[in-house]
Chain A
Amino acid sequence: MFKGRSTVKKFITYGVICLSLIVADYQFQQMQQIRAWMSLAVTPVQWLVDVPQRSWTWLDERLQARDELIAENKQLRAQALLAERRVQKLASLTVENFRLRDLLNSGERLDEKVMVSELIGTNSDPFVHQIIINNGFDSNVFVGQPVLDATGVMGQVTSTSAFTSRVLLITDADHAIPVQVNRNGLRSVAYGRGHYDYLELEDLADTADIEVGDILVSSGLGLRFPKGYPVAEVIEVQHLAGQDFAKILAKPTAQLSRSRHLLLIETAHQQTAAVNRGE
């Protein structure tokens, strides 16, 4: 076993296996299924890593002082009251919207099913903005599913295993999301640049009507993200002399590196797609 030659042979064999695995994983869709099952092997590690955080939360909840809890309870009640008032208003607006859409013969309905999921890990590679959540295809999470937190769009599911899934964040260098300016409906695409603090719009003309403070919402084009959820707020508009396009930076509204509770959305498009497939 220790003779140089057999080691070299083994090394070459394993090297070739690895290279073909990389190519296969890069090229073929079927690998996703295989990966999904193989990922079960590392699921216990992901759970174990989350144990300290979970037990700390548990302990913290039990050791909190009574008056602190009462104060928090009061505050939450107040928030709930405010939210309820808004919901009441929203209900009447929704009905009105339905009626108007009926008048316009538009088939669109803004009603998505939502599932709450919890973050259990992040990717330790600084080049990859990815998080791991505690629901997998066992609870009907699917690849391409949009993920939000309470304040905006977080990203989309890129791979699922039985009990966990990976979510690619909108700031990852490989991610782009179709958006529009909330103020005037101007459409663009927001690219991730591998930094948690900003996205970049690179295809807007120098003369486009966009200014600092504009809210970008998902435009629903591309049929992946549902329409109308906040994505980012414009923080910088640079007009570069001699360039046709302005350089625009926008700060994601979602708490990308802080949120622990996430919403998975089942969009209407995907529901119909699932029905068409006969699921």
Chain B
Amino acid sequence: MVLARTHNLWVPFVTLLLAFMLSALPLPESVQWGWPEWVLVVFLYWVIALPHRFGLGWAFILGLLLDLLQGNYLGINALAMVCVTFFAILMYRRLRMYRVWQQAFMVTLLVALHQTVSYWAQGIGSDASSGLWFLLPALTSGLLWLWLFVVLRGLRRAFKVA
């Protein structure tokens, strides 16, 4: 991966860093349950917009970093991120044609997939459970997409990220 100056690839990386910070924010417990998956949603945008730059390799690396940040077993988030990115790569052309609200719906499904995979992988080593509440971030992530898509597209166009 060449970080050539003309491609302005620092923009995606700065947005990802911000997403990492948002996901590490200390929050009251009630908000935590519905906190969107910032890193995944931002990364999904860049996968759909620049699939030749961001693919399974980056999904794996970002997932590992997320695991380190959250103190999970290494590989749980990586596995979930790789699964979601796989589907995103398979249908990025279709996703680009969708309207924003249709995209938001797909993002909700993809984040739900991420939550299910990581919840399932986490269940191996722990015995905490509480119904289907772990899917709530999928809904908030879908809503977040409506706004984030516009912001990130604006950034991509303004800086001509390619």
| Residues of A in contact with B (beta carbons under 8 Å apart) | 1-2, 4, 7, 10-11, 14-15, 17-22, 24-26, 31, 35, 38-39, 41-42, 45-46, 48-49, 53, 121-128, 130, 158-159, 166, 172-174, 194, 196, 257
Contacts and interface: CB of A to CB of B under 8 A. Distances in A.
Nearest to A196: B29
Interface string B53-75: 00111011001110011111111
Contact of A22 (B65, B76, B90): B76
B73 A26 contact: yes
Contact of B89 (A7, A15, A46, A194): A7
Chain A facing B: main interface SS: helix
B74 A21 contact: yes
Contacts of A19: 75, 79
A121 B26 contact: yes
Interface in B109-140: 121-122, 124-128, 130, 134
B25 interface: yes
B127 A15 contact: no
B71 A123 contact: yes
Chain B facing A: main interface SS: helix
Contacts of B25: 49, 124
B71 to A, nearest CB: 5
A18 B65 contact: no
A11 B79 CA distance: 10
A15 B122 contact: no
Nearest to A13: B56
A233 to B, nearest CB: 21
A49 B74 contact: no
Shortest 5 CB-CB contacts between residues of A and residues of B: A21-B75, A18-B79, A173-B128, A22-B75, A122-B26
B20 interface: yes
B86 interface: yes
B41 interface: no
Most chain B beta-carbon neighbours within 10 Å: one of A20, A21, A126: A126
Contacts of B75: 17-22, 25
A7 B90 contact: yes
Nearest to B30: A126
Given A1-B52, A7-B56, 14 more contacts: A10-B56, A10-B57, A14-B59, A14-B60, A20-B75, A22-B73, A42-B65, A42-B69, A49-B21, A122-B26, A127-B122, A128-B72, A128-B126, A159-B71
A230 to B, nearest CB: 23
